[in-house]
Structure 1
Amino acid sequence: MTTQLGGPAVTRAHPAPDKSSAPRSRDTSTAAQLVKITLLGLVVAIAIWAAFPLVENQAWIGLAILVATTGALLYLYLSPRHIPAKYLAPGTLLLIAFQVFPVLYTASTAFTNYGDGHRGSKQEAIVAIQTASVTQVPGSIEYALSVATTGDPATGPLVFLVTDPATKAVSAGDAHGLKRLDAADVTVTSTGKVTAADGYTVLTAGQASLRSKEITALAVPVEGGAIRSIGLSRAYEGKAGRVYVAGCDCIRDAKTGKAWVADGKTGSFVAGDGDRLAQGWKVNVGFSNFTRVVTDEDISGPFLRTLIWNFVFAIGSTGGTFLLGMFVAVALHSQKVRGRNLYRVLLVLPYAMPAFAMLLVWRDMFNKDFGLINNFFGISVDWLGQPMTARIAVLLVQLWLGYPYMFLVTTGALQAIPSELSEASRIDGAGAWQSFRRIVLPLLMVALTPLLISSFAFNFNNFNAIYLTTEGGPFQPDNPANGATDLLITYTYRLAFGGSGAQYGYAAAISIFIFLIVGTISAIAFRRTRAQEEVYA
């Protein structure tokens, strides 16, 4: 370039382009494209994998959501537009999958009778009742039996391969019914026993014997009865002792004539005398799971006691650990303390150890006969056998496990408070306690209140602390489902997975109660925290 500024011409040369940057940019772009294509291919592969069970179960709504989501992701990341959405989409999907969907599913379950005996549809309940009442009667057809599976021989779903003695036809049967197999796909001995079948793994005698209980329990429903096993090599087609009669919408006992009429409100078959068959079906029960907590005397009393103890435990655990942690942090904050770093390391040790292991250790330490605490102090206290001492024990364990966390966060907060504030208060004549109460503590509370709220929410649902220490006990003889140290979360767990029978609908309703309680308290506390921040800002 040449310019003339009233003097000799000046030639300015443009800087030579950096030729090395172009290949590097192309390499980066190519690598990014490969990564994007790989990730999108993985998304499509997962979608195809998930589509098969949805189609098999005829879950068309779920399939439509899967297709729409996959299509939207492909459009979003293959298009150069919508840059902000590209960053928001992964987090949004994970939020929906792991937060929103579980909450909505729990809420929907709370309005049903879902649980043991009420898991499937009415038709499935009828089939289960009829097959459970099957007995072998004179003239029952007997089949040559081979036990097979469509999966792993030790854990896969069981299938009966039976050969009809009259037609020599081979069928495969499971809990859903009987299916005829093509003769070309099976190998049958002269006695009618199937030794091989396409798509099935025939179990050996040893493999079948290991699953004998499952084989005995399996009933293949057929018209008017079911096929059950006689040992491992024979099966019979029995007749159902209880059959469904469509005219009365009831189950009728063939021997006694007793009838159990379908009750659509409770999802059960109920007789005139109030007798109820164990097998029912899933129905919507409205707010009955919620009202049980208030109206059922056998539930309302234990529930209220558990709720009160739950608050005591959460407040005691949070408050106790905070006070002890703050006291230790303030004591070690002074520059006059020698070896502060060593003390801090030693005090944090409980926090560095696995909590579940420490809970088990503490449980043994509280043992009445050989526990360290009783032996050390020369006493004989049944710590975990009495309601009051068991509650004291779990609070002490929580104090030991939780104070290091509060010590750490309080130490950090103290270091953020300017020392000039305390010095100015002392110049004005304030003592150490007045300076701490009027200056240090309010500033600490502004910084630590959100952590205290989260700690309260955590302790309100601290399942491990109770279940690994006392398992919710001790229990009263008249109420083995609700113990003295049970929190609502352990009580819910026992309802959902206890040996007396799962009540998922009722457990989900209690989970909603827990959510509302913790959410309400947290909202109020955070509002007060904002007010504090405005005062001390």
Structure 2
Amino acid sequence: MSAPLSGPGSAPQAPGREPVRRGLPRTSRTARQHAPITATGLVVKVVLLGLVAGIAIWAAFPLIEAGHWIALGVLAVTTAGLFYLYLSRRHIPAKYLVPGTLFLIAFQVFPVLYTASTAFTNFGDGHRGSKDDAIVAVQTASVKQVPGSTEYNLTIATKGDPATGSLTFLLSDPKSKEVFAGDADGLRKLDAADVEVSSLSGKITAADGYTLLNIGQASSRSDAVTALIVPTDEGAIRSNGLTRAYEGKAIRAYDAVCDCVKDSETGKTWTADERSGSFVAADGERLAQGWKVDVGLKNFATVLTDSNISGPFFGTLAWNFAFAIGSTGLTFLLGMGIALALHSPRMRGTNLYRMVLILPYAMPSFAMLLIWRDMFNTDFGLLNDLFGLNVDWFGGNWSARIAVLLVQLWLGYPYMFLVATGALQAIPRELTEATSVDGASPWQSFRAVTLPLLLVALSPLLIASFAYNFNNVNAILFTTEGGPFAPDNPTNGATDLLITYTYRLAFGAQGAEFGLAATVSIFIFAIVATVSAISFRRTRKQEEVYS
């Protein structure tokens, strides 16, 4: 065997020993763990951990009050784990991964799971709380003034903003001189030392912790005043105008023996239906106050089979695909065409052109949408005035759809222009020059070389653009608001996307249907996920061919 060669001046290497490493010394794990902590780092750590502790304490009290012990345990374990992780010098990778993971769970995983669970319930107007809540609502809503009812002097107050804060009734009993505060949670007696009562009107004129509404402020919220019912042991307190209130008796009461609600005046009975979460009479009448229950696949069946839902759903789905494909395709074609024109070596002033062409992309989209909405106005819109037209753009189904696509084309082509420009610059010119040498025309060179290589680079962006446009709620709400609407269907318009239709189901004036809206959301997720999966599979095949 030959002896290992060594350079001049090198020390002999003892058998069985590792060669000496030259260069910068490696920092040992022990040294890293005992590295000094800077004052700035310590302050940041204390502030952030204090914020975590504050959020945990703030979240713990509602969980304790509601009796959600599992959630409270998860909160405690998570908080303790965060303190251990960031007070320890170990687990360095986890210090970077945990925040992102927690935000992912909080803002992605949890909303998706909550939406999915809501789709299997009847959650919505009239079905928001528990059965006990529904019983209380039925009884308090049936309160009527009867002879001998206690009457109060009423002052309307709030603990928040007079225009938006939750209302409270400040009540003074003219007979007993007692003072009370009442809201939807019940009636509470106030200490006389904490309030001031007018000797003339008998009304409360000041109360610690409350902001009193004047007549004008109370009048502007008269609907909320009328709707506020204060439950009591004897019935409930309701307002009688803005200055008087009375304690009435409930004419409808719940009977646990028959699990039903009985009306003491008419004798009518509504029996609890646990499948629908409603009190139902023998003639089919349902009380407006119900409770939240699991309904299984009923919402999915309703979306697919109920003509009132399935008709608008499938019609909107077809337009939704047309809108997403049209918006993505048109912006891609225009952006790519401009990028090809400016990519030509014979073009001069390309930097100036590029700067001007990306201006729509640099402006706030919501502001541009509002400007375009005014430009399409029938009476004073720029487009009609400029071209001498008299088109009611948002009055017809197809004209409104064309207008929306034109707006999307103007807003979206700069993005496609930018990404296409970058992709074109990454394609070697030798490839297109080689096709020219072989006798290919410019169109043949583009179709056989440039376009396939562009699609390989841009396919993921096109898929993302399709998914974005499929749920592009701003493009609709800021321009057509989903219209025009048919006279017999105010919940679904010609330009509605599934996402805007879902929004109207959940928060529309016809009443909130959160369960149905969550079901439509699941359909949207499934559609976009399926289209994206198929598109990515085709993209991988393209990459294998042209890589």
Taking structure 2 as the reference length, the TM-score comes to 0.88
User: 1:418/1:273 Cα in 2 relative to 1: closer, same or farther (>3 Å)?
Assistant: same
Q: 2:541 aligns with which of 521, 531, 534?
A: 531
1:62 matched to 2:71: yes
CA offset at residue 366 of structure 1? 2.1
Q: 1:102 aligns with which of 111, 126, 138?
A: 111
User: Aligned residue for 1:493?
Assistant: 503
CA offset at residue 258 of structure 1? 1.7
Q: Which amino acid is the alignment partner of residue 409 of structure 1? A: V
1:308 matched to 2:308: no
Name the stretch that deviates more: 144-153 or 511-520. Answer: 144-153
Q: Which amino acid is the alignment partner of residue 482 of structure 2? A: G
1:501 aligned counterpart, secondary structure: coil
Q: 1:371-410 residue pairs with structure 2 within 5 A?
A: 371-410=381-420
1:325 matched to 2:297: no
- Partner Cα separation in structure 2 for residue 61 and residue 203 of structure 1: 42
CA offset at residue 120 of structure 1? 1.1
1:380 aligned counterpart, secondary structure: coil
Name the stretch that deviates more: 371-380 or 269-278. Answer: 371-380
Q: 1:265-304 residue pairs with structure 2 within 5 A?
A: 265-304=275-314
1:350 matched to 2:360: yes
Q: Which amino acid is the alignment partner of residue 282 of structure 2? A: G
1:461 matched to 2:471: yes
User: Aligned residue for 1:479?
Assistant: 489
CA offset at residue 176 of structure 1? 1.7
User: Aligned residue for 1:366?
Assistant: 376
User: 1:227/1:475 Cα in 2 relative to 1: closer, same or farther (>3 Å)?
Assistant: same
Name the stretch that deviates more: 114-123 or 237-246. Answer: 237-246
CA deviations on 1:225-271 (whole Å, 9 max, x unpaired) are 21112344432111223222222222222222222211111111111
1:239 matched to 2:249: yes
2:269/2:281 contact within 8 Å kept: yes
User: Aligned residue for 2:128?
Assistant: 119
CA offset at residue 408 of structure 1? 0.7
User: 1:404/1:82 Cα in 2 relative to 1: closer, same or farther (>3 Å)?
Assistant: same
1:149 matched to 2:158: yes
Q: 1:135 aligns with which of 144, 153, 175?
A: 144
Q: Which amino acid is the alignment partner of residue 416 of structure 1? A: A
Name the stretch that deviates more: 185-194 or 325-334. Answer: 185-194
Q: Which amino acid is the alignment partner of residue 104 of structure 2? A: L
User: 1:64/1:204 Cα in 2 relative to 1: closer, same or farther (>3 Å)?
Assistant: farther
CA offset at residue 100 of structure 1? 0.5
User: Aligned residue for 1:9?
Assistant: none
User: 1:374/1:459 Cα in 2 relative to 1: closer, same or farther (>3 Å)?
Assistant: same
Name the stretch that deviates more: 105-114 or 53-62. Answer: 53-62
- Partner Cα separation in structure 2 for residue 160 and residue 334 of structure 1: 75
- How many residues align? The count is 515
2:127/2:292 contact within 8 Å kept: yes
User: Aligned residue for 1:427?
Assistant: 437
User: 1:390/1:200 Cα in 2 relative to 1: closer, same or farther (>3 Å)?
Assistant: closer
- Partner Cα separation in structure 2 for residue 492 and residue 103 of structure 1: 15
CA offset at residue 200 of structure 1? 4.4
User: 1:89/1:475 Cα in 2 relative to 1: closer, same or farther (>3 Å)?
Assistant: same
1:140 aligned counterpart, secondary structure: coil
Across the aligned residues of Structure 1 and Structure 2, the Cα RMSD in angstroms comes to 2.4
Name the stretch that deviates more: 359-368 or 426-435. Answer: 359-368
Where does the alignment leave 5 or more consecutive residues of structure 2 unmatched?
1-10, 12-30
CA offset at residue 282 of structure 1? 1.0
Name the stretch that deviates more: 508-517 or 237-246. Answer: 237-246
1:78 matched to 2:64: no
- Partner Cα separation in structure 1 for residue 161 and residue 410 of structure 2: 47
CA offset at residue 206 of structure 1? 6.1
1:270 aligned counterpart, secondary structure: strand
- Partner Cα separation in structure 2 for residue 342 and residue 53 of structure 1: 59
CA deviations on 1:184-236 (whole Å, 9 max, x unpaired) are 65566668654555554555666555544433321111235211123444321
2:358 aligned counterpart, secondary structure: helix
User: 1:212/1:384 Cα in 2 relative to 1: closer, same or farther (>3 Å)?
Assistant: closer
2:283 aligned counterpart, secondary structure: coil
Taking structure 1 as the reference length, the TM-score comes to 0.90
2:303/2:516 contact within 8 Å kept: no
- Partner Cα separation in structure 2 for residue 405 and residue 110 of structure 1: 36
